[in-house]
Chains A and B, each alone.
Chain A
Amino acid sequence: MLRGVLGKTFRLVGYTIQYGCIAHCAFEYVGGVVMCSGPSMEPTIQNSDVVFAENLSRHFYGIQRGDIVIAKSPSDPKSNICKRVIGLEGDKILTNSPSDFFKSHSYVPTGHVWLEGDNLQNSTDSRYYGPIPYGLIRGRIFFKGGPRLSLLFSLQIKELTKKKNPASFYQLYTFT
């Protein structure tokens, strides 16, 4: 009786460990489902939207300007942030509002990226804490679930992957 229960417990623990490890490998190296909260990426990603993130681009260093990425927050490593990549290393970023007379710019240092939310009035991003190291990026969002899931699949992909509109007052110049 006891041996049967013990055997069953060991088997349960074994299966739990096995599936936990497979889940870890899947989330770490392939991708997963993430829920975003907060208004900083409206209207592209609404509060409490479910998005699909893939981690392959990060491992192969294929993150490009205009991608929406999930990264660890630089001031709190246990929480994640969801922003759009505006500049890669070497890019020149204008960091002031159009009302200022003197335009101030800065260059993104090597190994760093410049992130901004789509909802510029309501977003804490690189304009506040500066460029973040590339090593903090966890994954890239490629698909968003929502009420328009079934009908507008292709439009959503286009919206998520479009490059940031250069007509906004943040312009950027590539260096090389």
Chain B
Amino acid sequence: MDTGSACGHDLPGLGGLCGQSGGSVNAGMAQSKGWVRRYFKAFCKGFFVAVPVAVTFLDRVACVARVEGASMQPSLNPGGSQSSDVVLLNHWKVRNFEVQRGDIVSLVSPKNPEQKIIKRVIALEGDIVKTMGHKNRYVKVPRGHIWVEGDHHGHSFDSNSFGPVSLGLLHAHATHILWPPERWQKLESVLPPERLLVQREAE
């Protein structure tokens, strides 16, 4: 490879420098140095492509989480602490904050922002709910809020304790149970029959 003359043609200002370095470098050493540099470049390129794409996918499209606690028995974690269910969390479905009554959703806990809780949506904005254990007997869900409850009443820290939650805290919609394999199923959006609403917002 004739590096001296190529440098002289393309970069007239650096022609002198190129000519000097091109002549003195050993061919074998130049090849191994080039291999390391090429590997480093490829690694950086891959890293800066893969990490943002993976992070964006886990934040915006879907991720996986393990469920702990007994607040959603018998739908989730029926075995208690022996075997925790692993669920698929779908962020894409709630990107416009659209949820239906009966969906199982995960949200940021209003009492502890470091923790996420997973509950079932019982009522949307405008509905009137008959509460179980809340300080008011009947609560009208304000605009932009939802009422969530765990399926295991009495063992659940949910809207009966902290009231309606803002839709801005919504994190994801749990659609499938992935693990253990014998509990592989799609989670249905059904309201428990004993939690029928007192009054629904006019459709």
Contact = CB atoms under 8 A, between A and B. Distances in A.
Interface stretch (A5-13, A48-56, A71-79, A142-150): A71-79
Nearest to B112: A111
Question: Which range contains the number of A residues in contact with the other chain?
Answer: 20 to 34
Contacts of B170: 77
A21 B110 contact: no
B55 interface: yes
B60 interface: yes
Nearest to A89: B111
A115 B178 CA distance: 41
B166 A74 contact: yes
A31 interface: no
Interface string B108-119: 111111100000
Nearest to A80: B168
Contacts of A74: 144-145, 166, 168
Question: Which range contains the number of B residues in contact with the other chain?
Answer: 20 to 34
B108 A135 contact: yes
Interface in A1-40: 17-18, 20-22, 24-25, 28
Given A21-B55, A75-B142, A136 B169 contact: yes
Contacts of A90: none
A18 B97 contact: no
B112 A110 contact: yes
Interface of A: 17-18, 20-22, 24-25, 28, 61, 72-78, 109-112, 132-136
Interface of B: 48-49, 51-53, 55-56, 59-60, 96-97, 108-114, 142-145, 165-170
Can you list the 8 inter-chain pairs with the closest CB atoms, starting with the nearest? A72-B168, A135-B108, A75-B144, A77-B168, A21-B52, A21-B56, A134-B113, A77-B167
Given A61-B113, A74-B166, A135-B168, 12 more contacts: A22-B48, A24-B60, A73-B144, A75-B166, A77-B166, A78-B97, A109-B111, A110-B112, A111-B109, A111-B113, A133-B108, A135-B113
